[in-house]
Structure 1
Amino acid sequence: MAEKKRSKLGCFQCKQKKKKCDEIKPICTSCLKSNKICRYKSLENSVVKSQRKVDSIVCKDIVGEIIMKNLEHQRFDEINIDTISYGYNNDMFKLLNEYISPDPELKIKLPVDLSESEIGYFEYYCKSILPELSILPQEYNFYSKIYIPLALKEPALLYSLIGWGCKMMKNDGINYLIENEEAEGYCKKVMGIIDQNNLYLNEEKFMVNFCSYMSLVYMNISVGDINEWSTHFTSCFNMINRMPGNFKYLMNFSHEGILLAENFAYFDILASQSNENGTFYPISDYDDVFSNVSNAHDPAQGCIRPLTLIIGEIVTLLVEYSTLQVSLDLTDCSKYELMANVIDKAEKLDKKILFTKPDLSCLKHLNTPEELEGHLTLFDVYQISAQIYLRQVIKKLPSVVPEIEMLFFHLKEGVAFLVKTKFRKSLGFPMLVTALAATSKEDRQDVKSLFENLIQCCGYLSVYQKLWTVIQKVWELNQNGNLYVDWYKITKQFGWRLNLGR
């Protein structure tokens, strides 16, 4: 009988027991069930420890095949240098065309000298982190199309991506509990360069700073940060307001600016504090940007893009309703008229949610029917979540009412399917709503299992661990589902600012 082969990449516990490991990180299923410390061979060991400085790289070796194909596709099929309105982008893509060459040994001059370990962190970001930031096919992954060429020219963005790679590599296995001083050092370097750029802000420095801020925002959201991401996001907002036209200034940067603007709006709408303070910019401004270019596809949103704006409208209506409730200088007649207006807006939003269709234009390059099913299921899940959320935060309906119970049944089914797919990292908002709508002991046990699965697969540094803590508090205050509990007030009590965008 042939000897049963075991993976060489399994954890130390499974290797010691000579059993097959499912290699889920940070904790495999076997260690999770047996309550053992799960350790893998550290990815950091793959980084050369030499501090020898390197001033150039072979691009293909560092960014990998996926990104190279993406950049080459951009060069020959999408980028028309003569029609790009933004001069700095013009230079950036000329640089890109210079280093994309049939010669695999062509070296790219780096904007700063890096150590070999720093090159390793950058390589890890490019090959392991960057492709997963997009739920769309890689042809639509603008993070590689915009961030990588810019990072190869600008130290601020390069250091932010190195810091991201360093943070994730050193958070491998059980090390998620250990503070990463090295990664924080790179973030401080980034902020130092950003501060210098902000002294004399022009178009070129604005784009560098915007991308650097947003990479820090996305990195911190990805690791379940509850404060730092918001600090960087607010700084980015303050910088935008220094430019003519404020948020609409991003539209001056052609297609690339639209994509970056959509990404900003996405994280703004799904921030917990927006439920109390409102979004940084009016949803009408975001709507203008979203509708400006028909073929703009934020890889973090995919086909749910039309629903993101509607969730933003719900958040805006919630803030309007909350302001109305605390207004003391209104007559009863005025309050009645305003309340009737809120209810009318809610009814119109409900119909808008129901008749909204997925953005199918971003699904042209899918390879299999299964991929299409995943994207459409994600849309259905967000659509149902928006319906439930509208009823809860505006109408204050408890989860035990029949219409929410019926919606919950379909929502839980869709989420349970997506938890097992690549979309598992995009379920922050649906998981929140699913948990808020769960009332029975059995349903809550199912939701608990979904959270445990997500935390196990996405890591204890994901937003799901923090969100699960909030949900447990909600359930404690609302044991039978007869009440509506403001989840965002609980995050405020904890001193947290969560973002459900990742």
Structure 2
Amino acid sequence: MSGLIGWSGLFLAGTKSEETPMKYIQDAVDLCDRTLKSENLTISDKLELVCVFFILCAAEICVGDVKNWYDIFGRLHKFISDECNGNLKSLLGLLGDTEGAKWLLSNFLYHDVLSSSSHEKGTLFPIDQYCEALDIIPGTTQLLDSGTVCDPLQGCVRPMYVLLGEIINTKNKLDKMQEDLNVIVDRDTYKQRKFEFLTTLESDFEELETRIKNTNPHTPSLLLLKDDKELEDHLTLFEIYKLSLRIYLRYMVRKTPPAVPEIQLMLQELTLCMDVIMDTNVQSGLCFALMVAGISCVDPVDREQMEARLRSFCSKFPVKNFELVLILIRKAWELNKDGAHCVNWFDISESMGWYLSLA
């Protein structure tokens, strides 16, 4: 309760300078520390701790924090890792194996794949562990999300967040292969390893592209919607993530620059879809898509319209994360004036000393 009151106070104030909300946030932190020192934590204690850690992360992200939220998330990761010895499936038993426990794990996946640190280093847990624990089947041509848990932060888009994690980890695997390739001295060995690297790269790209195209929305989330307009908005958001991931896959795996016509064509589709759901109940899910669309803008007209779109969004939706996204997009434009290079948003975030969340 202290965490929720603090979070709501920070949201209303829009800043961490308000003394009263921060008092409640600190109370929540102190209670967590006290509970963690207990030698015999019950299942209820563990569930409460995970919930409060998430509330504290959300409160920090809400006001545009770029460091403290990740410290809290790191503490949550350590707590989960210690509890399950690195096996997420066993965590569910330790938390009661309830729908609530699965929801919390799904929430951790969401924050993991939207963290700048994970994009740079890889997700904190392997994606196949998330899939196993959440009843998601990672096929080669389609990802099947048969889980019954409905996460309001992800909704029907959850399969796309799983695939985003796959893209992140594939990028890190290929980067390691490239690094190993660069230190090979023998010419014949280099040629063989380069062939293996390029073959793997193309194979991984084609598999992920196919899965992004073929994967369907999380059906149980759609069954909760009240009317056709809500259904249309949620399905449009799902299509936005499909387009965003297809663009992002090209950046992460093939290192394709945004000026390439293929990306520019997808960008036009993406911005049209985003404009459809501006000012709707699902607009809060646009942070990652706006980042991808923003760094993909090359033409002056597209950049001007994207900045206007984000300014309008920030004025109507008081979550500071979107202001941080605009700052990073502007920096990407400075570094990539003609769109001829592949510029990573998480590299810019790191250069500014930020641990950014696109949640």
With normalisation by structure 1, the TM-score equals 0.65
SS at 2:66's partner residue? coil
* Structure 2 gap ranges (5+): 137-145
Question: Which residue identity is paired with 1:204?
Answer: S
Deviations 1:432-472 (A, max 9, x none): 1111211111111111111011110112x521101100100
Q: Distance in 2 between matches of 1:462 and 1:425?
A: 12
Question: Which residue identity is paired with 2:224?
Answer: H
**Once the 2 structures are TM-superposed, how far is the Cα of residue 398 of structure 1 from its aligned partner?**
1.3
Per the alignment, do residues 201 and 427 of structure 1 end up closer, same or farther by CA in structure 2, a change over 3 Å counting?
farther
Is 1:267 the counterpart of 2:105? The answer is: no
**Once the 2 structures are TM-superposed, how far is the Cα of residue 164 of structure 1 from its aligned partner?**
1.1
Q: Distance in 1 between matches of 2:262 and 2:344?
A: 20
CA RMSD of aligned residues (A): 1.7
2:339 to 459, 466, 481: 481
2:230 to 355, 368, 371: 371
Aligned to 1:250: 91
**Once the 2 structures are TM-superposed, how far is the Cα of residue 412 of structure 1 from its aligned partner?**
0.6
Is 1:310 the counterpart of 2:169? The answer is: no
2:23 to 185, 190, 195: 185
SS at 1:427's partner residue? helix
Aligned to 1:197: 35
Aligned to 2:152: 299
> Do 1:389 and 1:433's aligned partners in 2 also have CA atoms closer than 8 Å?
yes
Per the alignment, do residues 329 and 400 of structure 1 end up closer, same or farther by CA in structure 2, a change over 3 Å counting?
closer
Give percent identity, aligned residues only: 28
Aligned to 1:344: 203
Aligned to 2:13: 170
Aligned to 1:218: 58
SS at 1:295's partner residue? coil
Per the alignment, do residues 195 and 244 of structure 1 end up closer, same or farther by CA in structure 2, a change over 3 Å counting?
same
Per the alignment, do residues 389 and 238 of structure 1 end up closer, same or farther by CA in structure 2, a change over 3 Å counting?
same
Deviations 1:269-319 (A, max 9, x none): 111111111111001111112216631111100111111100110000111
Q: Distance in 2 between matches of 1:341 and 1:217?
A: 37
Q: Distance in 2 between matches of 1:339 and 1:193?
A: 52
Question: Which residue identity is paired with 1:186?
Answer: Y
Q: Distance in 2 between matches of 1:496 and 1:346?
A: 29
Is 1:278 the counterpart of 2:131? The answer is: no
Question: Which residue identity is paired with 2:56?
Answer: L
Per the alignment, do residues 479 and 211 of structure 1 end up closer, same or farther by CA in structure 2, a change over 3 Å counting?
same
Question: Which residue identity is paired with 1:373?
Answer: E
**Once the 2 structures are TM-superposed, how far is the Cα of residue 488 of structure 1 from its aligned partner?**
0.8
Aligned to 2:256: 397
Is 1:240 the counterpart of 2:98? The answer is: no
> Do 1:324 and 1:335's aligned partners in 2 also have CA atoms closer than 8 Å?
no
Q: Distance in 1 between matches of 2:73 and 2:171?
A: 22
User: After the TM superposition, which residues 112-191 of structure 1 pair with which residues of structure 2 at under 5 Å, given as runs?
Assistant: 158-171=1-14, 176=15, 179-191=17-29
4+ residue runs over 3 A deviation: 328-331
User: After the TM superposition, which residues 462-473 of structure 1 pair with which residues of structure 2 at under 5 Å, given as runs?
Assistant: 462-473=320-331
> Do 1:399 and 1:482's aligned partners in 2 also have CA atoms closer than 8 Å?
yes
Q: Distance in 1 between matches of 2:62 and 2:221?
A: 23
Q: Distance in 1 between matches of 2:335 and 2:358?
A: 22
Deviations 1:161-200 (A, max 9, x none): 12112222333xxxx4x71232222222222221222222
- Report 1 or 2 for greater relative contact order, CA contacts < 8 Å, sequence distance ≥ 6: 2
**Once the 2 structures are TM-superposed, how far is the Cα of residue 335 of structure 1 from its aligned partner?**
4.0
Q: Distance in 2 between matches of 1:441 and 1:169?
A: 35
> Do 2:7 and 2:58's aligned partners in 1 also have CA atoms closer than 8 Å?
no
Q: Distance in 2 between matches of 1:162 and 1:350?
A: 43
With normalisation by structure 2, the TM-score equals 0.90
**Once the 2 structures are TM-superposed, how far is the Cα of residue 339 of structure 1 from its aligned partner?**
3.5
Question: Which residue identity is paired with 2:18?
Answer: N
Q: Distance in 2 between matches of 1:441 and 1:324?
A: 37
**Once the 2 structures are TM-superposed, how far is the Cα of residue 343 of structure 1 from its aligned partner?**
2.2
> Do 2:178 and 2:197's aligned partners in 1 also have CA atoms closer than 8 Å?
no
Per the alignment, do residues 478 and 329 of structure 1 end up closer, same or farther by CA in structure 2, a change over 3 Å counting?
closer
Q: Distance in 2 between matches of 1:201 and 1:222?
A: 33
Is 1:209 the counterpart of 2:209? The answer is: no
Deviations 1:20-77 (A, max 9, x none): xxxxxxxxxxxxxxxxxxxxxxxxxxxxxxxxxxxxxxxxxxxxxxxxxxxxxxxxxx
* Structure 1 gap ranges (5+): 1-157
Q: Distance in 2 between matches of 1:201 and 1:286?
A: 27
